[in-house]
């Protein structure tokens, strides 16, 4: 018969194992004097930062003798900004969009003028939106206009939740207004593009999975880095198509002042971000299919990054906040254009 | 769900089946095919995908990858701690609700079910709003150097909240069925509180308690939504096993992701086996018990056992009978 003593022993065992294990967590297996940095970033940069962290940790050790441990956190850019505001102790914020980093400034976590603290307006790399199509490009997709054609099935994340989705929207919009079209024409065009969207995932990786793994759609509109990564993972199934013009993605990096002040890690965090601008850092960036800003490194990888007309957000709106308000806020242009019911009925 | 319906003893049928043989076969095969499509194939495919790149990749993912190792370990910290907190709370709550008459007892019972009603994501968000840097207690905690959200305490807190009802919900019907008589007798005979609890209450509720612990543990290990919100997604620090599964999937490591998923599935299967054992055990005790003691217990407060009616019912009947 089951004894109550045994039950008590079992529960005590459970408690002690929990306490014991959490004790171990606190101690960890870190070397004495190790400085821990947390890099809070957006979704498609996991592989990039993994690589950079490994190399930088080694270089930093060689130069200064300080052992570093850099941890990463990835999720949608907007929710990461929110998490930092809510207390996620990020030493550096490497988010996708300027308003997300600027939200940290608005909440007093990053000082005024953060953009000017690092070269090139704190942009160590850029990227853009490209098309991923099935091998041989059976639907003959060449430019934005082809996405609006009847019968083309498009996959892209939702502009409401995803930075990637927002950039696709703005690129499609810009393809009209920057080629002499009016805003009314742009609205009509973008409406037709989104009518062709089969699945509006919440994030970039979700869309990639929908297109590449589930096999839905003729074209995936996504970040250049994501497109190359998909090619790498699924050789021979897809190809990349560059439109004639696209959106210039400018993801800024910043040291989170309130966190580094509290943790006393400012010097290390600043060195970490400065490393991105070195030759070695830029090479790693190019290796992960992000566009380096160093002209020499960029020249060395020209084949990988064909030149096309890239436009920043300021050409279609006053700034990111304005774009957010105008296009993506509740009741904004996207909400007016995109009606899921109408889409279903039309298909 | 009506408590009466939940309480009815299983296996009390109306006699011989009246349907024709083909009808029975049709129904059985229908049920079987649904089971196969919804349960067997998905579970099997988890293991199929997990081993799709071979044993070596499987073991390497599970044992070599420091982030995955840490995730396992974190789950082994978070789940038992939450279970333990819920055992303490669950016994206390069941005790208060079944042994005392007080104002607002029904309200307390309702509150006990709140974590089942609240979406886990909302639960997580709630803790962020309370303990986050801009939250109600956040600034004060930060000035003391205490971090709750985006670290292990937050994970434990969120998991405990989500699994809160399991133990108490199992114990309430059991303790109601037993009634306070034996405990009162023990007190009359001079036992102190602890003696009474250890010698009378605990032996009486042990099966219900164990059952609650197992359900609670299963849920705690698998919890995703609430933990996702409070984790902060720091690789190798705040990723529990379910979060790790998602992360590996997003990193295009499908086989690795399913390898970790297979560990969770395996734990679920173990839970299932232990649960069946407990049920068998209680059923056997029921047969051995004198029939007249196994009757339906009096029931004055509503006790909707949320997810496991048959078990808690038989456990209640057993414990009532087996004394």
ipTM confidence: 0.72
What pLDDT shows up at residue A8? 60
B residues 268-297 lying closer than 8 A (beta carbon) to A: none
Does residue A7 belong to the interface with chain B, where contact is any CB pair within 8 Å? yes
Say if the Cβ atoms of B87 and A11 lie within 8 Å: yes
Which percentage of chain A shows pLDDT scores above 90?
64
Instruction: Please enumerate in sequence order all residues whose Cβ is within 8 A of that of A233, keeping only pairs 6 or more positions apart, or say none.
Output: A212, B252
End-to-end CA distance of chain A: 66
What pLDDT shows up at residue A17? 60
pLDDT-derived band of residue B148, with 50, 70 and 90 as boundaries? confident
The shortest C-alpha distance from A324 to chain B (Å) reads: 24
8 A C-beta contact, residue B240 and residue B227 = yes
Put residue B43 in one of left, alpha, beta given phi > 0 → left and psi -120 to 50 → alpha: alpha
CB-CB neighbors (< 8 A) of A72 in chain B: 234-235
CA distances from B291 to B5, B13, B20, B285, B288 (A): 21, 18, 34, 11, 9
CATH 3.30.300.30 fits B65-322, yes or no: no
pLDDT-derived band of residue A329, with 50, 70 and 90 as boundaries? confident
What pLDDT shows up at residue B165? 92
Please compute, for residue B270, the number of CA atoms within 13 A of its CA located in the half-sphere on the CB side.
Answer: 10
Q: What are phi and psi of B89, to 5 degrees?
A: -65, -40
The shortest C-alpha distance from B88 to chain A (Å) reads: 10
For the stretch A164-200, pLDDT in tens is 889 999 999 999 999 999 999 999 999 999 999 988 8
pLDDT at B290 over 80: no
Does residue A116 belong to the interface with chain B, where contact is any CB pair within 8 Å? no
pLDDT at B225 over 60: yes
If you measure CA to CA, which chain A residue comes closest to B250?
A205
pLDDT at A116 over 90: yes
Burial of B158 (0-12, 13-18, 19+ CB in 10 A): buried
Range with lowest mean pLDDT among A27-36, B7-16, B216-225: B7-16
pLDDT at A139 over 50: yes
> Please, what is the Cα angle at A251 between A245 and A255, to 5 degrees?
165
Determine which helix (DSSP H) or strand (DSSP E) holds A249, and give its type and residue range. Answer: strand A245-249
Say if the Cβ atoms of B250 and A205 lie within 8 Å: yes
pLDDT-derived band of residue B322, with 50, 70 and 90 as boundaries? very low
pLDDT-derived band of residue B286, with 50, 70 and 90 as boundaries? low
pLDDT-derived band of residue B144, with 50, 70 and 90 as boundaries? confident
For the stretch B186-220, pLDDT in tens is 999 988 889 999 988 888 888 888 889 998 999 99
Say if the Cβ atoms of A87 and B138 lie within 8 Å: yes
Range with lowest mean pLDDT among B70-79, B92-101, B111-120, B136-145: B136-145
B277 or A248, which is more confident?
A248
pLDDT at A97 over 90: no
B297 or A146, which is more confident?
A146
- The beta-carbon neighbor of A46 closest among B198, B207, B251 is B251
Mean per-residue pLDDT over chain A, rounded: 88
pLDDT at A100 over 60: yes
Q: Which domains does chain A have, with CATH numbers?
A: 35-123+251-277 (3.40.190.10), 126-249+304-346 (3.40.190.10)
For the stretch A29-68, pLDDT in tens is 567 789 999 999 988 898 899 999 999 999 999 999 999 9
CB-CB neighbors (< 8 A) of A85 in chain B: 132-134
Say if the Cβ atoms of B152 and A87 lie within 8 Å: no
Mean pLDDT value across residues B74-90: 93
- The beta-carbon neighbor of A87 closest among B133, B152, B199 is B133
pTM for the full model?
A: 0.77
Alpha helices for A220-332 (secondary structure H) = 224-233, 257-263, 266-275, 279-287, 295-300, 320-323
CA distances from B8 to A150, B170, B179, B278, B294 (A): 60, 16, 19, 19, 12
CB-CB neighbors (< 8 A) of A88 in chain B: 149-150, 232
CB-CB neighbors (< 8 A) of B277 in chain A: none
Q: How many CB pairs under 8 A join A and B?
A: 90
The listed range with the strongest mean pLDDT (A13-22, A124-133, B129-138) is: A124-133
CB-CB neighbors (< 8 A) of A21 in chain B: 73, 76-77
pLDDT at A1 over 50: no
CB-CB neighbors (< 8 A) of A86 in chain B: 128, 132-135, 138, 149-150
CA distances from A327 to A163, A194, B242, B270 (A): 13, 14, 35, 51
pLDDT at A93 over 90: yes
What pLDDT shows up at residue B137? 87
For the stretch A275-323, pLDDT in tens is 999 999 999 999 999 999 999 999 999 989 998 999 999 999 998 889 9
Instruction: Please enumerate in sequence order all residues whose Cβ is within 8 A of that of A256, keeping only pairs 6 or more positions apart, or say none.
Output: A84, A90, A91, A92, A93, A104, A109, A110, A269
What pLDDT shows up at residue A340? 62
Q: Taking the domains of chain B in order of start, what are their residue ranges?
A: 65-322
- Nearest C-alpha neighbor of A133 from the set A205, A234, A43, A48: A234
């Amino acid at each position: 018969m089951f004894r109550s003593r045994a039950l008590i022993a079992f529960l005590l065992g459970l408690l002690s194992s929990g306490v014991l294990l959490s004790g171990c967590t606190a101690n960890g297996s870190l070397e004495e004097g190790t400085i821990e940095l947390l890099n809070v970033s957006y979704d498609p940069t996991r592989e990039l930062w993994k690589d950079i962290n490994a190399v930088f940790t080694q270089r930093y050790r060689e130069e200064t003798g300080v052992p570093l441990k850099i941890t990463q956190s990835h999720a949608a850019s907007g929710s990461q900004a929110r998490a930092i505001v809510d207390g996620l102790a990020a030493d550096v914020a490497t988010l996708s969009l300027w308003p997300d980093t600027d939200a940290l400034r608005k909440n007093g976590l990053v000082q005024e003028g953060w953009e000017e603290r690092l070269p090139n307006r704190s942009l160590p790399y850029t990227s853009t939106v490209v098309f991923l199509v099935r091998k041989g490009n059976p639907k003959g997709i060449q430019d934005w206009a082809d996405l609006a054609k009847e019968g083309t099935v498009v996959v892209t994340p939702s502009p409401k939740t995803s930075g990637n989705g927002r950039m696709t929207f703005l690129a499609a919009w810009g393809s009209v207004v920057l080629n002499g079209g009016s805003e009314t024409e742009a609205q009509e065009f973008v409406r037709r593009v989104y009518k062709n969207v089969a699945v509006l995932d919440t994030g970039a990786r979700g869309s990639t999975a929908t297109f590449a793994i589930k096999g839905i759609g003729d074209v995936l509109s996504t970040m250049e880095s994501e497109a190359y990564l998909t090619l790498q993972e699924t050789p021979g199934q897809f190809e990349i198509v560059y439109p004639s013009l696209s959106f210039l993605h400018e993801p800024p990096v910043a040291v989170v002042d309130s966190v580094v002040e509290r943790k006393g890690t400012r010097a290390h965090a600043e060195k970490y971000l400065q490393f991105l601008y070195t030759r070695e850092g830029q090479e790693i960036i190019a290796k992960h299919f992000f566009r380096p800003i160093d002209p020499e490194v960029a020249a060395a990888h020209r084949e990988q990054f064909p030149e096309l007309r890239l436009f920043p957000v300021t050409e279609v709106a006053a700034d990111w906040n304005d774009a957010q308000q105008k296009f993506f806020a509740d009741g904004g242009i996207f909400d007016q254009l995109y009606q899921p019911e109408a889409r279903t009925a039309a298909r | 769900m009506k408590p009466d319906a939940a309480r009815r003893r299983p296996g009390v049928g109306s006699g011989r089946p009246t349907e024709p043989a083909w009808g029975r076969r049709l129904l059985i095969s229908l049920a079987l095919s649904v089971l196969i499509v919804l349960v067997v194939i998905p579970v099997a495919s988890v293991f199929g995908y997990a081993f799709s790149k071979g044993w070596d990749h499987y073991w390497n993912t599970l044992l070599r990858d420091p982030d995955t190792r840490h995730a396992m370990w974190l789950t082994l910290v978070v789940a038992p701690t939450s279970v333990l907190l819920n055992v303490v709370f669950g016994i206390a709550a069941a005790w208060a609700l079944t042994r005392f008459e007080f104002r607002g007892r029904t309200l307390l019972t309702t509150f006990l079910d709140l974590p089942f009603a609240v979406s886990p994501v909302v639960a997580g968000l709630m803790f962020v709003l309370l303990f986050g840097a801009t939250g109600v207690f956040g600034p004060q905690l930060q000035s003391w150097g205490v971090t709750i959200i985006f670290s292990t305490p937050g994970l434990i807190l969120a998991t405990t909240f989500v699994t809160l009802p399991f133990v108490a919900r199992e114990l309430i019907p059991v303790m109601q069925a037993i009634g306070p008589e034996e405990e009162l007798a023990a007190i009359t005979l001079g036992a102190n509180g602890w003696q009474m609890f250890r010698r009378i209450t605990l032996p009486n509720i042990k099966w219900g308690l164990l059952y609650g612990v197992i359900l609670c543990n299963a849920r705690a290990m698998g919890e995703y939504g609430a933990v996702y919100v409070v984790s902060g997604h720091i690789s190798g620090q705040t990723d529990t096993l379910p979060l790790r599964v998602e992360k590996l999937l997003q990193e295009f490591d499908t086989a690795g992701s399913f390898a970790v998923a297979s560990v969770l599935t395996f734990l679920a299967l173990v839970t299932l086996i232990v649960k069946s054992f407990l049920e068998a055990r209680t059923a056997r005790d029921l047969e051995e018990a004198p029939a007249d003691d196994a009757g339906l217990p009096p029931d004055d407060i509503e006790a909707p056992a949320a997810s496991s009616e048959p078990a808690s019912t038989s456990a209640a009947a057993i414990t009532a009978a087996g004394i």
